[in-house]
Chain A
Amino acid sequence: MKSLMRFPGARLVSHASFVIIIWFLVMRLNGSVDPLANYYIALVAMYATAMFGMVILVGLSGQVSLGNGALMAVGGYVFAVTSLHWQTVPILGVPWNGWWSMGFAAVGGIVVGLLIGGIAARLRGPYLAGLTLGLAVGVPAIANRFPELLGGESGLMLTVPYPEGGYAPVEEEVFIDSSADTLSGDVSTVAAPSAEATVAPDDMLTMDNFPTTDASAAAPSPDASMIDPGATDISGVDLSGTSDLIDASFIIERWQAGLAITVACIAAFIALNLVRGRQGRVWRAVRDDSVAAAVAGISPAKAKVSAFAVSSLFAALAGAVFAQILSYVGPGAFGLGLSLSLLVGVVLGGRSSLLGAVIGGILLVWLPEFVLSLSEKGGWEDQITNNAPNLIYGLLVVLVVLLAPGGIVGSAQLFLAKVTRRAPKGV
C-alpha cells in the first residue's frame, strides 16, 4: 500500500476519492433526514468550510485571526450584490446563475485576503489579533456606509437560486406582482425585465430590498449562533399563490444543505492537498521557526500571505453559502460574534486538524440545541438559556488552551499514541 503512494498524483487521487466518498455518504444522509436536520447539516458544512481556513491560518501558520467573520461578510455581500444586480455575466453575456456569484465571492475573498495578508505578514501575534479584531468590527460597518448598494443596517434580503425542479421561473413573476409595492425603485426596475428576458431554470430570483422599517421584523436574528430555523423558511411566505406549481419533492433546506456540503467538500479537497503537501510543511516551518525556515530557502512573508489568501477564500465561500442559508446578508449576521464562533470552533475541535474543523462545526451547531433541550426540561429563564452556550464556549476555550492545546482531535491523537505506544503524528 505504501509503495502505491510513490506514483506521481497518487496523493491527489487518494484525496479526491476520499472526499468523493465522504460527499456521497453525507449527501445520502442529507437525503434521508427531515428539513430541520438538513438545516443543521447545512450550518455544520458552512462552519466547516470557514474553519478549514482557520485551521490553515491559526493552526498551521500560527496567525490568530479574528477577522474571518469579516471575510465571510465579503463573500456573502459579493454573492448578494452580484446576484442582485447582474442578470448576465459581463463580457461573456451568458445568463447569470448562483455559481457565478459563488465564483465572484471566491475571487473577492482571495483579493481581500491578499490585501490583509500583505499587512498581516509584517505583524506579530497581538498586533495581528488586534488588526483582525478591527476588521471584524469595521467591515460589517462598511455596509452602513453604502446603504443603497449594501442595504445598510437592515441588510439585503435575497432569494436563493433554485435548481431545476424547483419553482424558480414561475415564482419570479408572482413574487414581483405580489410585492411590487414594497420594492424600492432601482431594484425593481433592474429585476422586472429579467423575468421575461431570462428564463433559465437556475437563474437568480428577484432580490427584495426591504424598507428599513420592515426589515427589523423580517430579517433573521442577527446573532449567528442563535438563528431561528423558522426564519430561513421563506417557502411559507412566498409560495402561497403558487403552491400547485412546485415540485412536491423539492425541500429548500435539503437543497441548501446539499449546496453547503458540496462547497465544504471542494474546500476540504483543496485544504487536504495543501495541508498534507509541501505547502503545509512550509506553513508549519514558518510557524515553528521563521528564521530556520528562511535559512532553508522559504520566504516567511510569502507563506503568511498565502495562508491568509487560502483561509480568506474558504471564508468567502462559507459566507456565500451562509447568505444562501439565511436568504439574507446584513451587518448583524457577520458581526464579531461570528468571528469569535469560528475561533471557538477551531480551538475546541483542534487547531491543527481539518477533522477538528468539522468537529468544531458540529459543536457550534449542537451545543446551543443541547442547551435549549436542557432548558426546556429544566424550565430555565430565557436569559440563562440564551447565554449558557457562550459561557460554556468561553470556559471551554480557556480550559482547552490551558490543558489540551490540541483540542479534541489533538488530545485523541495523544491518547491513541499512548495506547499504541507510537509517537504522535506530526501536527
Chain B
Amino acid sequence: MTSLIDYLIGGVSNGAVIALMAIALVLIWRATRVVNFAQVGQAMFTTFVALTVQTMTGSWALALVVAMVAGAILGVIVQFLVLRPMRRADTSGAIIATFGVLIALQAAVGMIWGGDAQAYPQPFDNAGIVAFGRIWPISVYDFVVIGVTILLVVALSLLFTRTSIGLAMRASAFNPEVARLSGVRVSRVLTFGWALAGVVGAVAGVLVAPSSTVSPTTFDILLVFAFTAAVIGGLDSLVGAVALGVFAGLVISLVSGVSNSGNAPVVALVLLALSLITKPDGIFGHHKARAV
C-alpha cells in the first residue's frame, strides 16, 4: 500500500510537465484549430538552448528564462512561416506541415548539438525528502517543478480572465469574424497565442530535462502523453489539460512502478483509444454538432 502511494506521489511532478505540454497544445488548438505536433520539437530545441546557456553560465534560472524567450520566438517563426501562409489549406495539410516542422527541428537539433543523449544538470536536490521518519519519493526539485507549473497556470488564467489581450484571445477563439468586426486584430492575437504556447512548451522541456536525458527524439513520448491528456481533456479546455495531464502522470508512474516503464506508451495508447471511442470530444470539451 505504501508503495502504491509512493508511486502516486512520485507521479505528480511528471504529471505537471505533461500538463504544461498539454496546455501548449490546447492554447494553439483554441486559437487556430491546429494541433501543433511540432510543439515537442520546439521544446526540444529550446531545451538544448537552455542546456547551452546553463553550461556557459551555470545559472538554471537564467537558462529557463532564455529558453522561454527562445520558445516564444520559435513559436512566432513557425506560425509566420508555416501556418499563416496556409490558413485556407485543408486540415490534412496543416497536420502534415506540423509534422514536417517536427522532423526538421529534430534534425536541426541533431545537427547543432549532436544526436546522442546528453545529461541535463540537476539544478536542485534530487534525493527523496526525509521527513516523519521515512524517505518520501519526492524531492526538492519535484516541488520546484510543481511550483513553477502552478505559477504558470495561475498566470495564464489571470491573463485570460483579467487582461484585454486575454479577452481578445478568447474572442478570437470563440468567433474570429465577430472579433475582427469588434476591432480585435485577430492575426496578431493568433501570433501571440503561438508565442505563449512556445513559452509554456519551453518551460515544460526545461523542467522535464533533468529527470531524463535530452536527445532530439527524447520528447516524442511526451508528445503522446500530452496529446492524450489534451484530447481526453477536450482539446478546448485548459482546466481539462491540467487535470488530465496530472492524472496521466499519476497513471504512468503507477504503471511504470508496478510493471516497467516500457509499458507507459501502451497505457497511453489504450487510454487514448478508449477515450476517443467513448467521448470523441473529450470530458471537458464542449460538444458541437458536426457533419456526419
Enumerate chain A interface residues (CB-CB to B < 8 A): 58, 62, 64, 66, 119, 122-127, 129-131, 133-135, 137-139, 141-142, 144-145, 153, 290-291, 294, 300, 336-337, 340, 343-344, 347, 351, 383-384, 386-391, 393-398, 401-402, 405
Question: What's the Cα separation between A130 and B21 when bound, in Å?
Answer: 14
Which residues of chain A have C-beta atoms less than 8 A from B179's C-beta? none
Q: List 26 A-B contacts (CB under 8 A).
A: A62-B90, A62-B92, A123-B280, A125-B92, A126-B91, A129-B35, A129-B95, A134-B268, A137-B221, A137-B268, A137-B269, A291-B291, A300-B292, A340-B99, A344-B100, A344-B103, A386-B110, A387-B110, A387-B216, A390-B110, A394-B103, A394-B105, A397-B99, A397-B103, A398-B82, A402-B97
* B289 is an interface residue with CB less than 8 A from chain A: no
- Verify B260–A144 contact, CB threshold 8 A: yes
Within 8 A of A (CB), among B88-119: 89-93, 95-97, 99-108, 110-111, 114-115
Question: What's the Cα separation between A138 and B35 when bound, in Å?
Answer: 20
Within 8 A of A (CB), among B8-41: 29, 34-35, 37
Residue of A nearest to B105 (CB): A394
- Verify B266–A145 contact, CB threshold 8 A: yes
Segment from B44-52, B169-177, B203-211, B224-232 that makes contact with A: B224-232
Which residues of chain A have C-beta atoms less than 8 A from B100's C-beta? 344, 347, 393-398, 401
Question: What's the Cα separation between A225 and B204 when bound, in Å?
Answer: 30
Which residues of chain A have C-beta atoms less than 8 A from B228's C-beta? 130, 134
Which residues of chain B have C-beta atoms less than 8 A from A401's C-beta? 86, 89, 93, 96-97, 100
Known contacts A141-B262, A337-B217, A391-B104; 4 further A-B pairs (Cβ under 8 A): A66-B99, A126-B29, A127-B231, A383-B115
Question: What's the Cα separation between A389 and B95 when bound, in Å?
Answer: 21
Question: What's the Cα separation between A172 and B155 when bound, in Å?
Answer: 68
* B67 is an interface residue with CB less than 8 A from chain A: no
Q: Closest Cβ of chain B: how far from A40's Cβ, in Å?
A: 22
Q: Closest Cβ of chain B: how far from A285's Cβ, in Å?
A: 12
Q: Closest Cβ of chain B: how far from A296's Cβ, in Å?
A: 13
Q: Closest Cβ of chain A: how far from B108's Cβ, in Å?
A: 6
Which single member of B95, B106, B224 contacts A137 (CB below 8 Å)? B224
Q: Closest Cβ of chain B: how far from A399's Cβ, in Å?
A: 8
Question: What's the Cα separation between A398 and B95 when bound, in Å?
Answer: 10
Q: Contacts A58-B92, A127-B280 given; indicate if A291 touches B292 (C-beta within 8 A).
A: yes
- Verify B96–A64 contact, CB threshold 8 A: yes
Q: Contacts A122-B277, A336-B220, A390-B104 given; indicate if A130 touches B227 (C-beta within 8 A).
A: yes
Q: Contacts A62-B92, A119-B277, A340-B103 given; indicate if A129 touches B263 (C-beta within 8 A).
A: no
